[in-house]
Amino acid sequence: MIGHKPVSVPAAEGARAAAEGKVVIYWRKGCPFTRRLRLVLGRRGSDAVWVDIWADPAGAAYVRSVNDGNETVPTVVIDGIAHTNPSPRTVVAALP
């Protein structure tokens, strides 16, 4: 296993979590950048909310809306601001 195995939630739940100030990670299976993030986060990854854009069309639409129409992942929402493929260090610093 590479880091925390994400338990994906619907995009609506991700949006609520972001509004509450939680870190939300939009991802998809097979993405090497997501894999790297999961590896660095380790168990701390369970403190984030994960939305699989291949399993949730609304999640994919959100990612496209903040990435010039591209489904670039990981897209991470920190303090209500979307970050495209941020450094794992940035995400770790934002987690509780």
What residues does each domain of the chain span? 11-94
Length of the chain: 96
pLDDT of residue 4: 64
CATH number of 11-94: 3.40.30.10
Q: How does pLDDT run across 26-58, given as a tens digit for each residue?
A: 999 999 999 999 999 999 999 999 999 999 999
Q: What is the mean pLDDT of the chain?
A: 93
Instruction: Reply yes or no on whether the pLDDT at 83 is more than 60.
Output: yes
**If pLDDT is split at 50, 70 and 90, which confidence band does 3 have?**
low
DSSP 46-80: GGSEEEETTT-HHHHHHHHHHTTT---S-EEEETT
CB 92 within 8 A of CB 45: no
pLDDT of residue 2: 58
pLDDT of residue 1: 43
